[in-house]
Amino acid sequence: MKAWVQERFGTREAPVLREISEPQAGPGEVVIEVEAFAVNPVDWKILDKTAVARAMGLKVPRVPCMDVAGTVVELGDRGSDRLRTGDSVVVKLPVKQAGGAAQFVRTQADRVLLRPESVSAEQGAGLLLAGTTAYQALATHGRLRVGSGQRVLVIGASGGVGHLAVQMAKTWEAHVSGVCSTANVAFARSLGADEVFDHTLSTPSDWGTFDVVLDCVGLGWLGLRHAVALGGRYVTINPKGVDIVAHAATGLLGQANVRAMMLQDRVEDFQQVLDMAAHGELRVHVAASLPMDDLPEAWKRSQEGRTVGKLLVWPRR
């Protein structure tokens, strides 16, 4: 089968297209024929720092990408009592194995979700990594309460995580402010944001104070601490050293109002996000849908840091 392969640590270069053997399902596993997969920033960042990548247990050669929509084509022994061959599914693959940038991928059956008819393969492929990051940032770390009318600021409101976070916070009846550049102000408003700040025309001191500040860009706690209301929380998905220190320090003091978070693979959270999409509460905006051979283009566009919504690649096109 065709697969994109990362062959070296210490680089952000695009993977290379290789012909490799098709995976086979082991006990408790399934093989999925990949219909579409998303390229997320983590896919090209993850091998960059060799020591960190090795400490995470990553190995090369490695097939990257973790967000997949596809069809179950094989079940291993003890495969699953939920899944059958031919089922349409979505999965967020584990960071260690990844493997989505290929025509087929093997993974544990118990992390695979049935894709409801109301969620297309395109929607499903772009949803889980970014959507569940937004979910855990707002609900788990931000402690955003449904129906409380809390004030939320999403910095990076037009990006993969941010555009889903805006929609999620609106569904939960928060008052939502977004931050993006001039070109994306109308897009952020179309997601439901109550107000949008243009970062090319304003600074954090112009934005006000909020119960939850979700920083998808990595502006950092020091520059945003005044934007967090008393008792509120700053949540960063792109932490710098000082954010990690502040996270630990405020945790020790029992305040925990600075949260430097990493997405946790919790199947129940993936399911919540998929259910929201099935109910029409989340809609993935697709920045580009590219054929398999154009993965390097998705890599390049993701690295430019200006993606509006999600970048998808289709292995059968």
Ligand X SMILES: NC(=O)c1ccc[n+]([C@@H]2O[C@H](COP(=O)([O-])OP(=O)(O)OC[C@H]3O[C@@H](n4cnc5c(N)ncnc54)[C@H](OP(=O)(O)O)[C@@H]3O)[C@@H](O)[C@H]2O)c1
Which residue lies nearer to ligand X by CB, 227 or 237?
237
Contact call for residue 160 and ligand X (CB under 6 A): yes
Interface residue with ligand X among 16, 56, 201, 262 (CB under 6 A) is 262
In the shown chain, the binding pattern of residues 71 to 100 toward ligand X, with x for contact by CB under 6 A and - for none, equals ------------------------------
Interface residue with ligand X among 80, 238, 271, 289 (CB under 6 A) is 238
Q: What is the DSSP string of the chain?
A: -EEEEB--SS--PPPEEEE-PPP---TTEEEEEEEEEEE-HHHHHTTTSHHHHHHTT--SSB----EEEEEEEEE-TT--SS--TT-EEEEE--TTT---SBSEEEEEGGG-EEPPTTS-HHHHHTTHHHHHHHHIIIIIIS-PPTTS--EEEEETTTSHHHHHHHHHHHHTT-EEEEEE-GGGHHHHHHTT-SEEEETTT--GGGS--EEEEEESS---HHHHGGGEEEEEEEEESS--HHHHHHHHHHHHTT---EEE------HHHHHHHHHHHHTTS----EEEEEEGGGHHHHHHHHHHT---SEEEEETT-
Which residue lies nearer to ligand X by CB, 38 or 72?
38
Which residue lies nearer to ligand X by CB, 1 or 42?
42
Query: CB under 6 A: which stretch of 52-60, 77-85, 108-116, 175-183 binds ligand X?
Result: 175-183
Interface residue with ligand X among 62, 199, 233, 247 (CB under 6 A) is 199
Q: How far is the CB of 134 from ligand X (least distance, A)?
A: 9
CB 41 within 8 A of CB 5: no
Which residue lies nearer to ligand X by CB, 92 or 106?
92
Contact call for residue 156 and ligand X (CB under 6 A): yes
Report the residue number whose CB is nearest to ligand X. Answer: 159
Which residue lies nearer to ligand X by CB, 30 or 216?
216
Contact call for residue 216 and ligand X (CB under 6 A): yes
In the shown chain, the binding pattern of residues 263 to 292 toward ligand X, with x for contact by CB under 6 A and - for none, equals x-----------------------------
Contact call for residue 179 and ligand X (CB under 6 A): yes
- How far, in Å, are 14, 107, 275 from residue 101 at the CA level? 12, 13, 25
Contact call for residue 41 and ligand X (CB under 6 A): yes
Chain residues in the site for ligand X (CB under 6 A): 40-42, 45, 130, 133, 155-156, 158-162, 179-181, 184, 199, 216-217, 237-238, 261-263, 302, 305-308
